[in-house]
Amino acid sequence: MAALALALALDMLVEVTTEWGLPHRPVVADASYGDATEFRLGLTDGLASVLAGSPTKTAHPAHAVPVTPACRGNGRPPQPRHPYKPIDLQTLVMDAGKAQGRFVVWRHGSKHLPGNPTARMRSQFLDLRVRPANRNIPP
């Protein structure tokens, strides 16, 4: 996604919460925004968020904590890093198990079918906290 579009989206969120005085509500975004590090980092200013992510993106489980290696005395001091390799999101979701998913109905549609007489539009969602594993995140 273009950097200009991401910056514009973040500016609009700041405008509606500060200048317009609207209450803070959770930000919900698809994978094109959820995969963008700049957008995720921009949401840390007190905005709760629910973001989709591409299954091929990598992350660490929420309980993983970066470790700072001991300094050897020469060169730059070492930066904190995770001791284990990151895992793709699809694997993390599969490891959580199907039972952790919850069906959510977001509206009733217009196509009433025998298998869905109320035309509910629903899908299964999983709330999974992760630590992103890309290099663009400051320590």
pLDDT tens for each residue of 93-122: 999 998 999 999 988 899 899 988 999 998
Q: 0.75 cut: is pTM over it? A: no
**Nearest Cα residue to 14 out of 36, 34, 44:** 44
Tens-place pLDDT, residues 58-78: 999 988 888 898 888 888 888
Measured in degrees and rounded to the nearest 5, phi and psi for residue 120 equal -70, 135
Which of the four pLDDT bands, split at 50, 70 and 90, describes residue 136? low
Position with higher pLDDT, 30 vs 18: 30
Question: Which pLDDT does position 45 carry in this prediction?
Answer: 65
Instruction: Parse the chain into domains and list their residue ranges.
Output: 1-54, 59-133
Average pLDDT in the 37-66 region?
85
Position with higher pLDDT, 102 vs 45: 102
Residue 16 DSSP label: I
DSSP-assigned beta bridge partners for residue 88: 58
Average pLDDT in the 117-137 region?
84
Which of the four pLDDT bands, split at 50, 70 and 90, describes residue 55? very high
**Nearest Cα residue to 32 out of 9, 12, 62, 61:** 9
Question: At 132, which amino acid appears?
Answer: P
Q: What is the largest CA-CA distance in the chain?
A: 72
